[in-house]
């Protein structure tokens, strides 16, 4: 049994922490929202009045927070309190620069730091099947692995500090681009009078195949069950896709890298979210694209 401090009990963090309790670990938990602490208590966690209190005398700390600014704020609270040798796993999706800043802060204080963002959404968090993309020293990775194994189905050590966030935003930039391309192909096919199921049968086994077609087709009734079959309820909300695309563009700017398709996908998802679809699954952009006419 490992003593774990868990900070951030939102849509993702709560089920991840519950899985740690179910696996027999001793979880001290904190969230800024008191109602979530009550819920955590009912699931067998030790609830704490602050982030500092949650990390006193633990061996592993997990943070699952909204963005880089909040992660930096929480690290300022917990790093001075955590005992030397503790491993901190930040599973939030944040910008690469902030990830590198908190890595240095942790390392300077004698802590093992990992950026370990996830893929798999709330369903994966509940099932304990998340994919973890991990950056940081091998010693910290080895110390964290038994805890990551409880929450995840696949754990990939991607490299040094920041490599996990880099992998996450590159993957999701590709996903945003491929989803828009998939929507365009299916919409054009419909206009051409082509049966959507026939297009799926061709593309899913041809050179255009990709996850957005094969696993998460944006057309209802086509392919495996996906949010398109549930009125585009997320799934993976458009606001989260936009967040990750914006992080990809921040990273592209900071490394003077041109990503024209990523930039265009970001603009399109921004327009979709601004039109009131932040809580729609990101595959729901097919309806929005269908309303666009060529100028």
> Catalytic residue positions?
168
Residue 72 or 264: the one with the smaller Cβ distance to ligand NAD is 72
Q: Please classify residue 192 by burial: count the beta carbons closer than 10 Å to its beta carbon, then call 0-12 exposed, 13-18 middle and 19+ buried.
A: exposed
Supply angle C-alpha 62, 144, 40, rounded to 5: 30
Does residue 11 touch ligand NAD according to CB under 6 A?
yes
Which residue do the tokens 């998802």 mark? 269
Q: To the nearest whole angstrom, how small is the minimum distance from the Cβ of residue 187 to ligand NAD?
A: 26
Does residue 65 touch ligand NAD according to CB under 6 A?
yes
Q: Tell me the window of 66-74, 103-111, 177-185, 212-220 that interacts with ligand NAD (CB under 6 A).
A: 66-74
Size, binding site for ligand NAD by CB under 6 A: 27
- Window 117 to 146, contacts with ligand NAD (CB under 6 A): 118, 121-122
Q: To the nearest whole angstrom, how small is the minimum distance from the Cβ of residue 170 to ligand NAD?
A: 15
Among 4, 5, 6, 9, which residue interacts with ligand NAD (rule: CB under 6 A)?
9
- Window 186 to 245, contacts with ligand NAD (CB under 6 A): 236, 240, 243
Does residue 153 touch ligand NAD according to CB under 6 A?
no
Q: To the nearest whole angstrom, how small is the minimum distance from the Cβ of residue 63 to ligand NAD?
A: 8
Q: Alpha-carbon distance 142 to 281, whole Å? A: 35
Residue 74 or 210: the one with the smaller Cβ distance to ligand NAD is 74
Does residue 90 touch ligand NAD according to CB under 6 A?
no
Which residue do the tokens 């001290």 mark? 28
Q: Alpha-carbon distance 190 to 286, whole Å? A: 12
Q: To the nearest whole angstrom, how small is the minimum distance from the Cβ of residue 86 to ligand NAD?
A: 18
Among 4, 5, 6, 8, which residue interacts with ligand NAD (rule: CB under 6 A)?
8
50-54 contact pairs (CB < 8 A, 24+): 50/77, 51/7, 51/77, 51/78, 52/77, 52/78, 52/81, 53/28, 54/5, 54/6, 54/7, 54/28, 54/29, 54/30, 54/78
122-130 contact pairs (CB < 8 A, 24+): 122/11, 122/12, 122/15, 124/153, 125/11, 125/12, 125/15, 125/16, 125/19, 125/151, 126/15, 126/19, 127/153, 128/19, 128/152, 128/153, 129/153, 130/16
Q: Which H/E stretch holds residue 123?
A: helix 121-127
Residue 168 or 222: the one with the smaller Cβ distance to ligand NAD is 168
Q: Tell me the window of 30-38, 143-151, 185-193, 260-268 that interacts with ligand NAD (CB under 6 A).
A: 30-38
Does residue 250 touch ligand NAD according to CB under 6 A?
no
Residue 141 or 236: the one with the smaller Cβ distance to ligand NAD is 236
Q: To the nearest whole angstrom, how small is the minimum distance from the Cβ of residue 108 to ligand NAD?
A: 22
The residues, ordered by sequence, that sit 6+ positions from 235 with a Cβ below 8 Å of its Cβ are 121, 226, 227, 281, 282, 283
Which residues would be at the binding site for ligand NAD (CB under 6 A)? 7-13, 30-33, 36, 51, 64-66, 70, 73-74, 92-93, 118, 121-122, 236, 240, 243
């Amino acid at each position: 049994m490992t003593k774990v401090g868990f900070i951030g009990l939102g849509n993702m963090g709560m089920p991840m922490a519950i899985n740690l309790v179910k696996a027999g670990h001793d979880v001290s938990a904190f969230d800024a929202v008191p109602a979530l602490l009550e819920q955590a208590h009912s699931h067998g966690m030790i609830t704490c009045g602050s982030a500092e209190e949650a990390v006193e005398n633990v061996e592993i700390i997990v943070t699952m927070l909204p963005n880089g600014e909040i992660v930096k704020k929480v690290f300022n609270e917990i790093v001075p309190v955590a005992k030397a040798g503790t491993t901190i796993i930040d599973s939030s999706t944040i910008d690469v620069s902030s990830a590198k800043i908190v890595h240095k802060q942790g390392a300077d204080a004698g802590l093992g730091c990992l950026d370990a963002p996830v893929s798999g959404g709330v369903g994966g968090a509940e099932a304990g099947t998340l994919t973890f993309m991990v950056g940081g020293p091998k010693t910290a990775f080895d110390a964290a692995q038994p805890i990551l194994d409880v929450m995840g189905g696949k754990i990939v050590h991607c490299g040094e500090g920041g490599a996990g966030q880099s992998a996450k935003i590159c993957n999701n930039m590709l996903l945003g681009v491929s989803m828009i391309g998939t929507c365009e192909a299916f919409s054009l096919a419909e206009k051409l009078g082509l049966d959507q199921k026939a297009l799926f049968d061709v593309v899913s086994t041809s050179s255009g195949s990709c996850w957005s077609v094969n696993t998460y087709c944006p057309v209802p009734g086509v392919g495996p069950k996906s949010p398109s079959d549930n009125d585009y309820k997320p799934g993976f909300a458009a606001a989260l896709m936009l967040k990750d695309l914006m992080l990809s563009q921040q990273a592209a700017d900071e490394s003077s890298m041109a990503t024209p398709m990523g930039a265009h996908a970001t603009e399109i998802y921004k327009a979709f979210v601004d039109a009131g679809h932040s809580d729609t699954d990101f595959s729901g952009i097919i309806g929005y694209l269908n309303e666009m006419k060529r100028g």
